[in-house]
């Protein structure tokens, strides 16, 4: 018995590692996310039942449950050097001359790859197991960030030996083995889309946003609680080696290929160039192609390919002679600050924003730039009327880089910290240094509009048609001054507003009506409680089930909920004990908003497909594949990608291909889309 469980556990681990490799290294996933989750869950459950079988390299062990007290410093076995930089093609030619002078008569091949703008990390594998991950630090010693690095799914906890070696492996005893000690160096970074997502959530929760993906990555790696790091979806790409106990490869090109076989994702933008003019061409091409990548690169790295040549070239005190970075000049533009405006967020946070004389920058017209917070504003001493340099922070959010002091007009003055809310003139609360300033008037109209927008938006109550413009009109016409007022709206009131007709008013009322059925987690996320974003709302709804249970919960009870820390607990507790909140909840209830259950329970239509694996093939008029999959789930089924003997049902649409044939061959039950939809509706 124990034997078969061990076998199953090992098999699941191997499968999960293989799928991680396909997803993160090869970029060619073979199974859906749900199928992956099923494997993962089975493994986690088995390990839960048999804790003695847990090993440190199991895919479930990526996150340690225990926050660290601090980071320890570790000495690098081989120093992590820095690189010489240049911004000009001519200096690349000079670099080439220097290399050739030191290697007379040799033919030099260069490898050119992107310079990823993240955080340099070294990963140490001993006997194939990840034993240490450290930051670069000062180059000779860095911070031990192993616990945080273990949460990054693309970093293997255990090296895989690959199937067929695609490169000569004459240096190895075993064709696909690895050295006993192998240190891989590379960059940990955050994709642009993930960065935007995190900043969106942070600003929704009135938390300070990160200026660019690199800061977000560095900030994440410094977190002491690796459970939070795990949610940041960091990535890794390898590009160099540190200590190796045995020769690994003869060229850089071969190094990357071998790392890939071992499941280490490597820099994909690597190409060979046989002369420096080709190198320059590749660099200039990538400068233009930057937007194709979903992550930030700040230049290209040019490396001598042959490791033997590298040894002969050696290094100076700071950097190797065999490589150089060609940096892209950040796109900057000069413009004038017309005014500095203070915006009020939905929980009252005040943030400074610069209104600019419109200017072209990296393909878009920029007329506003973030000043992040009052500390930044003071540090840069940006004043109305100043000429400033603006830059796209990682080509995403424009920001003011610096003031051109020489061009400052005479009559400017430092921007004064707001003493009152710019929208309602209500009282503000400042933290010690005045970095964060918050309006504390609960009836502040700016907060009201922002809060109503958030409440009605897609991830929350999802009231179709209730966007910012309409909300502004409703507030202005005194038709709405709280969440509950939305539910008191009548079609006639709405129809009388500008640009609204009877039809659109009726549609809005219908959308409002529909939103009453949203589960508790959506309502909670919509209320805009400080620090409670959609994830916290989901956890709370799952744990407590009803709004009444939440309103009555004691602080300790809230703190004991997994993923709810003391800060969130305190914020919810305060919110629930507030008399405004009580009347708000009473009013929502009176209006018919249900406020119970979770997304899952609310969306369950039936269990007609309970535990059945359903494959959809071909196209179905009016339904996307996501629609079909979500429909299957709502009826308790499991949408599955491929047909096998275990498939319970195959729905065959227009132009179906091999899956339909396979279903017939295996004798799996099939339905036309019409039969399927009728079956579900019955």
- Footprint on this chain of ligand IVH (rule: CB under 6 A): 81-83, 113, 115-116, 120, 136, 187, 239-240, 267, 301, 319-320, 323, 325
In the bound state with ligand IVH, the residue whose beta carbon lies nearer, of 136 and 634, is: 136
For ligand IVH, which is the closer residue by CB, 116 or 529? 116
Write the burial class of residue 85 (CB in 10 Å: 0-12 exposed, 13-18 middle, 19+ buried).
Answer: middle
User: 181-189 and 119-126 as β-strands: parallel, antiparallel, unpaired?
Assistant: antiparallel
Distances (CA, A) of 292 to 4, 269, 490: 47, 11, 48
Question: Minimum distance between the CB of residue 270 and ligand IVH, rounded to whole angstroms?
Answer: 8
Token digits of residue 143: 């911070």
Least separation in angstroms between CB 192 and ligand IVH: 16
* Beta strands 670-671; 649-652: pairing state: parallel
Q: Which two tokens stand for residue 408?
A: 């400052």
From the centroid of its chain, how far is CA 135?
21
Q: Please list, in sequence order, all residues whose beta carbon lies within 8 angstroms of the beta carbon of residue 674, skipping any fewer than 6 positions away.
A: none
Shortest CB 385 distance to ligand IVH, Å: 38
Please list the residues that pair with 336 across neighbouring strands. Answer: 387
Closer to ligand IVH by CB, 150 or 310: give it: 310
Q: Which of 75, 115, 257, 392 is catalytic?
A: 115
Cβ contacts of residue 392 below 8 Å, gap of 6+?
330, 331, 361, 362, 366, 398, 399
Residue 96 or 113 having the CB closest to ligand IVH = 113
| β-bridge partners, 623 | 620
Distance CA 582, CA 596 (A): 16
Residue of 487, 462, 461 whose CA lies nearest to 474: 487
Q: Which is nearer to ligand IVH, 218 or 641 (CB)?
A: 218
The rounded distance, in Å, linking the Cα atoms of 648 and 620 is 19
Give the separation between CA 598 and CA 22, rounded to whole angstroms. 33
Nearer to ligand IVH, 325 or 466 (CB): 325
What is the closest distance, in whole angstroms, from the C-beta atom of residue 117 to ligand IVH in the complex? 7
Distance CA 331, CA 324 (A): 21
Active site residue 115: yes
Q: Minimum distance from CB of 158 to ligand IVH (Å)? A: 25
Minimal distance in Å, beta carbon 272 to ligand IVH? Answer: 14
In DSSP terms, which residues pair with 596 in a beta bridge? 546
Residues with active-site annotation = 115
């Amino acid at each position: 018995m124990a034997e078969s469980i061990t076998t199953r556990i090992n098999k699941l681990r191997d499968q999960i590692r293989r799928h991680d490799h396909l997803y993160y290294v090869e970029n060619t996933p073979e199974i859906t996310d749900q199928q992956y989750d099923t494997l993962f869950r089975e493994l986690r459950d088995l390990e839960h039942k048999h804790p003695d079988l847990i090993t440190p390299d199991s895919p479930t062990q990526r996150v340690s449950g225990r926050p660290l007290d601090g980071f320890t410093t570790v000495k690098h076995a081989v120093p992590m050097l820095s690189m010489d930089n240049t911004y000009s093609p001519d200096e690349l030619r000079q670099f080439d001359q220097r290399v050739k002078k030191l290697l007379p008569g040799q033919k030099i091949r260069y490898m050119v790859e992107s310079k990823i703008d993240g955080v340099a990390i070294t990963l140490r594998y001993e006997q194939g197991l990840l034993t240490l991950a450290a930051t670069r630090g000062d180059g000779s010693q860095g911070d031990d960030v192993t616990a945080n690095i273990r949460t990054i799914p693309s970093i293997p906890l255990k090296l895989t030996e690959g199937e067929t070696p695609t490169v000569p492996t004459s240096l190895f005893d075993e064709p696909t083995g690895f050295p006993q000690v192998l240190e891989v160096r590379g960059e940990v970074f955050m994709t642009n889309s993930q960065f935007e997502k995190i900043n969106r959530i942070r600003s929704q929760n009135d938390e300070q946003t990160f200026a660019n993906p690199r800061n977000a990555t560095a900030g994440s790696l410094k977190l002491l609680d690796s459970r939070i790091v795990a949610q940041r979806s960091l990535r890794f790409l390898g590009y160099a080696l540190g200590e190796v106990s045995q020769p690994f490869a003869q060229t850089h090109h071969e190094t990357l290929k071998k790392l890939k076989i071992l499941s280490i994702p490597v820099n994909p933008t690597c190409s060979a160039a046989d002369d420096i003019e080709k190198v320059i061409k590749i660099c200039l091409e990538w400068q233009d192609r930057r937007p194709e990548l979903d992550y930030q690169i700040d230049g290209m790295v040019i490396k001598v390919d042959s490791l033997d040549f590298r040894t002969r070239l050696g290094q100076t005190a700071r950097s190797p002679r065999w490589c150089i970075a060609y940096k892209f000049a950040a796109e900057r533009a000069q413009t004038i600050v017309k005014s500095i405006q203070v915006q009020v967020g939905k929980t009252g946070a005040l943030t400074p924003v610069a209104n600019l004389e419109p200017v072209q920058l990296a393909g878009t017209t920029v007329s506003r730039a973030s000043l992040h917070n009052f500390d930044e504003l003071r540090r840069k001493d940006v004043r109305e009327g100043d000429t400033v340099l603006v830059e796209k922070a990682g080509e995403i959010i424009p920001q003011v880089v610096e003031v051109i002091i020489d061009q400052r007009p005479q009559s400017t003055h430092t921007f004064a910290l707001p003493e009152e809310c710019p929208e309602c003139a209500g009282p503000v609360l400042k933290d010690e240094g005045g970095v964060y300033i918050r309006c504390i008037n609960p009836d502040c109209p700016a907060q009201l509009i922002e809060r109503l927008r958030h409440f009605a938006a897609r991830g929350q109550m999802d009231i179709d048609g209730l966007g910012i413009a309409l909300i502004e009109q409703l507030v202005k016409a005194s038709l709405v001054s709280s969440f509950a007022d939305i539910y008191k709206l009548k079609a006639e009131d709405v129809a009388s507003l500008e640009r609204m007709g009877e039809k659109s008013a009726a549609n809005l009322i219908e959308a409002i009506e529909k939103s009453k059925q949203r589960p508790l987690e959506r309502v909670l996320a919509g209320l805009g409680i400080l620090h409670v974003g959609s994830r916290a709302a989901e956890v709370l709804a799952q744990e407590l089930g009803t709004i009444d249970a939440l309103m009555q919960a004691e602080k300790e009870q809230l703190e004991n909920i997994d993923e709810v820390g003391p800060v969130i607990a305190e914020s919810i507790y305060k919110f629930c004990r507030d008399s405004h909140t009580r009347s708000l909840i009473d009013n929502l209830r009176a209006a018919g908003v249900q406020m119970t259950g979770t997304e899952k329970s609310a969306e369950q239509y039936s269990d007609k497909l309970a535990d059945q694996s359903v494959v959809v093939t071909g196209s179905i008029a009016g339904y996307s594949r996501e629609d079909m999959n979500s429909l299957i789930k709502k009826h308790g089924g499991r949408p599955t990608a491929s047909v096998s003997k275990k498939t319970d049902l195959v729905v065959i649409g227009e132009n179906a291909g091999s899956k339909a044939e396979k279903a017939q061959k295996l004798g799996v039950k099939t339905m036309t889309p019409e039969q399927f939809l009728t079956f579900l509706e019955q």
